[in-house]
Amino acid sequence: MDSKKKYENISSTINVVIPLFLAFLVGAFFALMAGYNPLDVYFQIFAEGFGSFGGIMQSLGFATPLIMTGVATAFAFKSGIWNIGVEGQLYIGAMATALIGGGYFGIAELNLPSYVIIPLALLCGVFFGSLYACIPAAMKAYLGINEVVTTIMLNYAATYFTTYLVKCHFQGSATYDSTEMIMSSAVIQKFNPSYRVTWAIFLAIAIIVIIWFIQSKTKFGYEINAIGRQLEFSEAAGMRVKKKIFIMFLISGAIAGLAGGTEMLGVNKQFTPEFSTNPGLGWQGYYICVLSRQNPIAILIIAIVFGAFRYGSIALQSKIGLPLDLLNIIQGVLILFFSIQYLSPAFVKKVAQRGSADAVQTVEA
């Protein structure tokens, strides 16, 4: 590893550790305000998430959609495309999957077997998630409209649109706003009925591997990295940037739609407007993407930690009344602190060289 890369890695690591420390420090302050010992709270949260086989299974269940939304966000970010609309694409994909899995449009009468209906429902989620991503993709690629604004606005459009569909066209038999329950043949089975994790965890891991391979081992991966680093150069080199932007949005939206689809078939079993818990599976994927620096393997690890923290917080809420908002506070301020670059590679290099010089002088003395 050359010295420049070495200092960049050290700087990146420090710039992740410091925001994490500060975010947990703020969380500790609010825990104290609520009358809890922060160290005891954090220890119990992680003990719940990782301290038993059941806790690990529950943590993996909460992590599964976060892995997908983290990858969906990171894949776009890697190419310099700021797709902040994963939450909306997830909602559209979840709605489409719930309608197919719920037997709408006469599908229930067909009595399709599981090996047909499950892939069909998930493919519908993938298709409509990517279709929804086409809107900001076209506006960015062909009209030059900033994708941050359009994707954020489309998040709200998706949540309101799907709520309207449920209330006015696809209301199920429940007394609350929801679609019909997913047909038994369309359910993605859990490892164990007692735990949240389903077989979709393997699908999430497969996506991690595929995206890593694309980014690291293919020409397309090289091109999206180049576009992310220098858009004008990529255009001049004949990389057909507009087409690539469109494709990257489609892939990102497809993964987001798949995340929503697996939640419908494996966990929620019906679409409800509030299924994506505050601050939202798509938004949590954004946090994970930022923390991981768009590294697929880091996304997997951080998503599992986030899943454990979510499960541990829920467990403590039921045991000792710990407000679940503590987790949302930590995630929110994490992004705030993460927006600051604390140490640059040049500063790390300067400190290292000064330390080496001081060591040499000590030895000579």
**Could you report the per-residue pLDDT of 243-289, keeping only the tens digit for each?**
888 899 999 999 999 999 999 999 999 999 999 977 799 999 998 99
pLDDT digits (tens, 9 = 90+) for 72-95: 999 999 888 889 999 999 999 999
pLDDT confidence band for 231 (50 / 70 / 90): low
Quote the CA–CA distance of 342 and 348 in Å, as a whole number: 10
Quote the CA–CA distance of 93 and 189 in Å, as a whole number: 19
Burial 10-29 (b: 16+ CB within 10 A, else e): bbbeebbebbeebbbebbbe
Is the pLDDT reported for residue 205 higher than 70?
A: yes
pLDDT digits (tens, 9 = 90+) for 18-76: 888 888 888 888 888 888 888 888 899 889 999 999 999 999 999 999 999 999 999 99
Q: What tokens does 40 get?
A: 């005891």
Quote the CA–CA distance of 223 and 205 in Å, as a whole number: 24
Domains in the chain: boundaries: 35-322
Q: What tokens does 300 get?
A: 């997997």
Our measurement of the distance from residue 249's CA atom to the centroid of its chain's CA atoms, rounded to an integer in Å, reads 15
pLDDT digits (tens, 9 = 90+) for 299-321: 999 899 999 989 998 888 888 88
Taking Cα atoms as reference points, which of 12, 326, 57 lies closest to residue 201? 57
Q: What pLDDT was estimated at residue 361?
A: 57
DSSP label at residue 198: B
Torsion of CA 215, 218, 219, 225, to 10 degrees: 10
pLDDT digits (tens, 9 = 90+) for 130-175: 999 999 999 988 888 889 999 999 999 999 999 999 999 999 887 8
Our measurement of the distance from residue 356's CA atom to the centroid of its chain's CA atoms, rounded to an integer in Å, reads 41
Three-state DSSP at 324 gives: coil
Domain 35-322 has CATH 3.40.720: no
For range 110-132, the mean pLDDT: 96
Q: What tokens does 76 get?
A: 């776009």
Q: What is the pTM of this model?
A: 0.89
Our measurement of the distance from residue 162's CA atom to the centroid of its chain's CA atoms, rounded to an integer in Å, reads 20
Q: What pLDDT was estimated at residue 5?
A: 65
Q: What pLDDT was estimated at residue 342?
A: 66
Q: Report residue 190: phi and psi, to 5°.
A: -85, 160
